[in-house]
Amino acid sequence: MKSIKDCYTLSNGIQIPCMGFGTYNAKGGDNLAINRTAIEAGYRYFDTASLYETERVLGQAIKESGIPRKEFFIVSKLWIDERGYHEAKEAFARSLDRLGMDYLDLYLIHWPRGSEGDADWKEKDIDTWKAMEELYDEGKVRGLGLSNFLPHHLDLILQHGRIKPLVDQLEIHPGYTQEGAVRYCQENDIRVQAWSPLGRSAMLDNPILKVYAEKYGKSTAQICLRFLLQKGIIPLVKSSAMERMKENQNIFDFEISTEDMSILNNMPQNTWLGEHPDFAIPKKRSNFAQ
C-alpha cells in the first residue's frame, strides 16, 4: 500500500481502499463542511450509519463535489432496532434515500444484539442477513458485512448465511488488538476494519507510542495507523481539520520494524472504550428519520 487510493481485494472480487473516513459524531451544520474538506483532502471511502445521522450531509457533500459516484466507496449500517427481514429492507431504503444514491458499496449489520437480555438476537440476525443477501442479489449493494461481531456472532452468519460477509468492523488500536477476533476473520477471509484506531484519542498521549513516534519521526496517531496498516487492517479515521486529515494519510513513507511491531502488538491491554456487544446496552438514535 502506497497511498489511501490503494485497495485490497475482498473475497467477492470488489476493491476496497486501504483507509476510510468515518463520519460518527458529524451530523450537520459545520459537519457538512467536514465532509467537503475530507473529499478535498482526497478521501473517497466514507463510512456512515443510520445511527450516526450523517448519511444526509455525506450525500450532499458528495453530490456537491461534482465527482462521479463511482469514484467513491460508501458504506452504511443498519442499527439494532432495524434488524429483521422486512425491517432491514426498509432501513436500507431509508439509507439510500438520505444519501441520495441508488446503491451502496457495502451494507453492514451494525451490532449483533441489543443487550444481554436480547433472547431472540440470533433469529433477528439470520433474518436480517437473508434480507441483505436479497439486496445483494438485486444489485443494490456490492457487498455485505458486519460490525462489532465477535467470533461466536460471526459463526451464526457463516453457518446460516448463503453469502459470506466481506468485512467486520471492530474496535482495534495499540493496546487493544482483539487478536482472537482478528485471527478468526483472517482465517475466514473477512477483511478487518478498525473503528477508533486512535482509541478515541486516548492513545495519543500513550508513553510507549511517544517513544516510537520520536524514533520514526512521526506523530503517535501516525504510529497507530501505520501499525494497523502493517497488520492488514483498514483504519477508519476521523478529523475535522484539513491538516490532521492530511497527517493521517502520511503513513506510507515509513515502515515499523518487525521487532517494534511485536512490542506494539503486546502493549499492556487498555480498557474497551466502546460497549461490549454481548453485555452493554448501546446508545439509541435520537432521530430515526433524520
Active site residues: 52
Output the nine-digit C-alpha cell for 63: 453530490
Q: Are 196 and 202 in contact, with CB atoms under 8 Å apart? A: no
Nearest to 138 by CA among 99, 113, 104: 104
- The CB-based long-range contact list for 283-286 (8 Å cut-off, 24+ gap) reads 283/51, 284/81, 285/50, 285/51, 285/53, 285/79, 286/53
Q: Are 219 and 246 in contact, with CB atoms under 8 Å apart? A: no
Q: Are 237 and 34 in contact, with CB atoms under 8 Å apart? A: no
Name residues whose C-beta falls within 8 Å of residue 198's C-beta, 6 or more positions apart in sequence: 173, 204, 221, 224, 225, 237
For residues 61 and 271, give the distance between their C-alpha atoms in angstroms, rounded to a whole number. 35
Could you identify the residue written with the cell 466507496? 73
Virtual torsion, Cα 194, 12, 95, 50, nearest 10 deg: -20
- 112: number of CA atoms within 13 Å, CB side? 23
Q: What's the start-to-end Cα distance of the chain, in Å? A: 37
For residues 145 and 137, give the distance between their C-alpha atoms in angstroms, rounded to a whole number. 15
For residues 76 and 55, give the distance between their C-alpha atoms in angstroms, rounded to a whole number. 8
